[in-house]
Amino acid sequence: MGVTVERILALQTMKGSRLIAGVEGRKKIVNSVSMMETPDSTMWLREGDFILTNGRPIRDMPGPPEGLIEVFLRKKVAGLAVKLGRYIKELPEPMVRRANERNFPIVVLPEELTAAQIITCISYEIFRSEARDPHYSYEEDFLRDLVTGEEDWRVLRNRLNMIGWSERKMLGVAVIQHDAMRLDYTFSELCEGTPFTYGFAVSGRYVALMELDGESQPDTRLYQCAHELLDHLEEKNTFGGTFSIGIGRCYRSLSYLSRSFEEARAALCMGVCQKQGSSVTSFARMGVMSILLAKNNRVALERLYGNLFMALDQHDRENDTEYVETLKAYAMCNMSLEETAKHLYVHYNTVRYRLNALKMLLGNQLVDENMGIEFNLEAICCVVRWKAEFVKSWGGSPFDDYNSHRLAPHRQDRHRSNSNKKSSGGRKKTTKKKPSSQE
């Protein structure tokens, strides 16, 4: 199937390349990449080849240089890419003129680009076209693996070098959700014309990334662009419903891109569970909740959450109360006394009484010594709603082991909540504690 010369020039790897001749031939189809190191290399050229050369064969070619263009045309070559400087300073004018007359593309490559990088990215694009999956480029597939953590970082670093990117490249991460979104929309259809240049679908959501190199306040810039993206999506919204966007913090290393993704989907779940309609939620702007929901605090949060409800459940069984059900209902009803009463089919004052009793009962149970944070009832309700939305959206508890939450990027909507579980013998058993009451 192949790809066009125009598509090759649009690849991030080819940034800085210049099409200096044969513009009208940019739609020629490239089926393979070949190196041309000596004049007699023309003997092995094939139809659809995209030729890479350092200029030496042009310098040493017998006869007029424009004759080489005629050889390429007879062989049905798709185009020529030349790196100037070492063997020739510039292409002969007759050769450029003949290429323009015959619509044969000639590309001048940037000095820093290596042959290995070019061959890798073009070959991957050709492979994609033959697999009839044109939606993702080599860069996007690399970013997908980087975001979801599917590959070992050492492997990803090698792929990073092949693309020619710096490890310190900064990308902003946004996760987009729509309550009626269909996955047959491509990223380009959704985000064309926005600062987000890369994107793909992961587990029924879209991940969008934008370049932030050189930004003095990258988190602020990402937040602004996420709002622009939301406005853009709302303008294109023809199927009803609302969009929600979560964004992670910005890091000056691609090795932290998966962390930013984790933060973005945590922020997305927080925004959705607050039922604010179309919204942008920034993990960096979530205040104390960004501390609670940070990945490195999930173990402590899980312990607090588990101990709290374990203690309440024990109290309910011993005293014939319904505090667990009441607290969860109150949280899921967005802390509305009226809605909670309707949900539980009890009187408004009954809910009020139970909540007051809960506050007195919990007392010191809402303090985590390791994190040094005191939680109030509102914070607990927020975590309950957030956890429920996380399970609904991503198919597993946010408290599961980090590695068990890696997403299978090529298998959308496949949940892995049961994979990579630790054995029960490897965990500390939580001791049930009877909550102390305050008179």
pLDDT per residue over 302-344, tens digit each?
Answer: 888 888 888 889 889 999 999 999 999 998 998 899 999 999 9
151 to 146, 154, 201, 420, 422: CA distances (angstroms): 7, 8, 18, 16, 21
The confidence score (pLDDT) of residue 216 equals 94
The mean per-residue pLDDT over the stretch 17-23 comes to 95
Q: Are 357 and 437 in contact (CB under 8 A)?
A: no
Determine the Cα–Cα distance for residues 112 and 185; give it in Å rounded to an integer. 36
Decide if domain 138-286 falls under CATH 3.90.960.10.
no
Q: Where are the domains of the chain?
A: 3-130, 138-286, 297-417
For the domain covering 297-417, report its CATH number. Answer: 1.10.10
pLDDT at 183 over 60: no
Give the rounded percent of residues in the chain with a pLDDT score beyond 90. 43
Give the residue-averaged pLDDT of 416-429. Answer: 37
Q: What is the pLDDT of residues 40-61, one digit of tens each?
A: 888 889 999 999 999 999 999 8
Q: Give the C-alpha separation, 122 to 5, whole Å.
A: 10
Q: What is the mean pLDDT of the chain?
A: 82
How far is Cα 96 from Cα 104, in angstroms, rounded to an integer? 9
Any idea which residue has 């090795």 for tokens?
255
Note the pLDDT of residue 368: 46
Gap between the Cα atoms of 64 and 67, Å rounded: 6
Structure tokens at 274: 């607050």
pLDDT of residue 77: 96
- Cβ distance 177 to 194 under 8 Å? no
Residues 284 and 368: their CA atoms lie apart, in Å, by 22
Kindly report the length of the chain: 439
On the question of pLDDT at 90 being above 90, the answer is yes
Give me the residues paired with residue 205 across strands.
202
Which CATH number does the domain 3-130 belong to among 3.90.1150.10, 3.40.1390.20, 3.40.190.10, 1.10.3720.10?
A: 3.40.1390.20
- β-partners of residue 280 are 245
The pTM of the whole model exceeds 0.85: no
CB 301 within 8 A of CB 313: no
Angle at which helices 66-74 and 93-101 cross, to 10°: 40
CA separation for the pair 33, 54 (Å, rounded): 14
DSSP 216: S
Please say if the pLDDT value at position 374 is more than 80.
no
What was the pLDDT predicted at 400? 58
The mean pLDDT of 369-396, rounded to a whole number, is 74
Burial class for 369, CB neighbours closer than 10 Å (0-12, 13-18, 19+): exposed
Residue 428's pLDDT is 39
Q: Flag the least confident range among 38-42, 176-180, 212-216, 224-228.
A: 176-180
pLDDT (0 to 100) of residue 70: 94
